[in-house]
Structure 1
Amino acid sequence: MENENDLKPDNYELSQQTKKANSDKIFTGIFIGFLIGIATYSTFKYGVGFFTFAPLLFIYLLVRRRNKKLK
């Protein structure tokens, strides 16, 4: 059987997980901003249509998936 210490992640692994989580947050934020920009541009350029609501749907799905992942 393994020691109790072998089951706990060490500081290096924890720092790597933290860096990955922060990187994911930044990427998700940039992507959401990009999608909001597409929806806004589409609304002003062409009026309310598919390209107004499609990015907003993707944003909703991203946020929902992220919240499930955090639980």
Structure 2
Amino acid sequence: MSGKTISELTNEELLDKRKKAKNANIISAVLIGFFVGIAVFSAIKKGLGFFTFFPLIFVFMLMRNQSEAKELDKEIKSRNLHF
């Protein structure tokens, strides 16, 4: 599967990749909640500072990686597959 674009994947590969992306999305959601919690706790206890904004950088990075799952969903819908 390396080097293939999403449109070049077979139906089975596409569904398998979507299943893996769904698991990664759950892990990302937990991490985002954890990092936001750290930022809020830091802001309440110590005010605005480095540890308030540093975890939010990771939140931004995790949210940027969510675009592949959206592309997979579009391709699955265009092929009328069900996951």
TM-score above 0.5, yes or no: yes
Tell me, which stretches of 5 or more residues in structure 1 are unaligned?
A: 1-6
From the superposition, tell whether residues 8 and 19 of structure 1 become closer, same or farther in structure 2 (CA, over 3 Å).
closer
* Alpha-carbon offset, residue 58 of structure 1: 1.4
Where does structure 1 differ by over 6 angstroms across 4 or more consecutive aligned residues?
none
TM normalised by structure 2 equals: 0.61
Give the 3 Å change call, closer, same or farther, for CA 50–28 of structure 1 in structure 2.
same
The structure with more helix, counted as a fraction of residues? 1
**Structure 1-normalised TM-score?**
0.70
Query: What percent identity do the matched residue pairs reach?
Result: 40
Shift of 1:8: 5.6
Secondary structure at 1:27 match in 2? helix
User: Relative contact order, CA 8 A, sep 6+: which one is greater?
Assistant: 2
